[in-house]
Amino acid sequence: MPPKKYMIIALVTVVLVLVVGTLYSRYAAQSSPLVVGGENDKEAGLLGQKIVLFSAVNGVITLDQKPLAGARVTRTVEWKDETYKDEATTSASGSFHLPEMPGPGRIVLAEFVASQLMEVEYQDQKWLIWRMVKREAGPNRELVDDNNWESAGTPIEFSCELSTPTRKIKLLLSVLRTNCQFPAEIGEAIK
């Protein structure tokens, strides 16, 4: 049996970890919408934040200003040496929906970096409509920009005209390469 003083040290260490974790999650909820434990994830704290590899997406795809029906929209995420994929098919109006793509487990006080890619395939042609690195594990954290903190938590909605060239948009923690248009202006266009 270990000496009594080592048991006391171990107990004090556990208590300190619990106290610091609780204080951190309370502070984070009040400080920034970008910090683990913020109001966008009520379950965050000592057990970490749930992982959302790619938030839910609602989009409309057009080609030459006409809705593109029957196109395949593929979403790919690479995170921690794993690849996650899902897909949807556009309706007669060119619209599609992809649900939230959850990741396994939770993330605790660690850096989150997930590579996101979305492509449209139609009649043996492929178009890139979304490429970025997601830097926050929470839902709807992709489109946060430093000029508009209120954009934190905004669902992903867009329309993409496939004949439009892709452009780069500087966001708070990443750069988005896309040819899509969003309901509200996001980020800053860069060359």
- Tell me the domain boundaries of the chain: 49-190
Residue range 105-147, pLDDT digits in tens: 887 778 899 999 999 999 999 999 999 999 988 899 898 876 6
pLDDT-derived band at 22, boundaries 50, 70, 90: low
For residue range 38-63, what is the model confidence (pLDDT) as tens digits?
A: 334 444 455 677 899 999 999 999 99
Q: Tens digits of per-residue pLDDT, 74-114?
A: 999 999 999 999 999 999 999 999 999 999 888 777 889 99
The tally of CA atoms less than 13 A away on the side-chain side of residue 138 is 23
Average pLDDT over residues 25-37: 38
Q: Is the pLDDT reported for residue 19 higher than 70?
A: no
pLDDT attached to residue 61: 98
Q: What DSSP assignment string belongs to 100-154?
A: -EEEEEEE-S----EEEEEEEEETTEEEEEEEEEE---STT-TT-BTTBGGGTT-
Question: Is the pLDDT confidence value at 14 over 90?
Answer: no
Q: How far is CA 153 from the centre of its chain?
A: 10
| Domain spanning 49-190, CATH architecture | Sandwich (2.60)
Question: Between 154 and 70, whose confidence is greater?
Answer: 70
User: Which pLDDT belongs to residue 130?
Assistant: 98
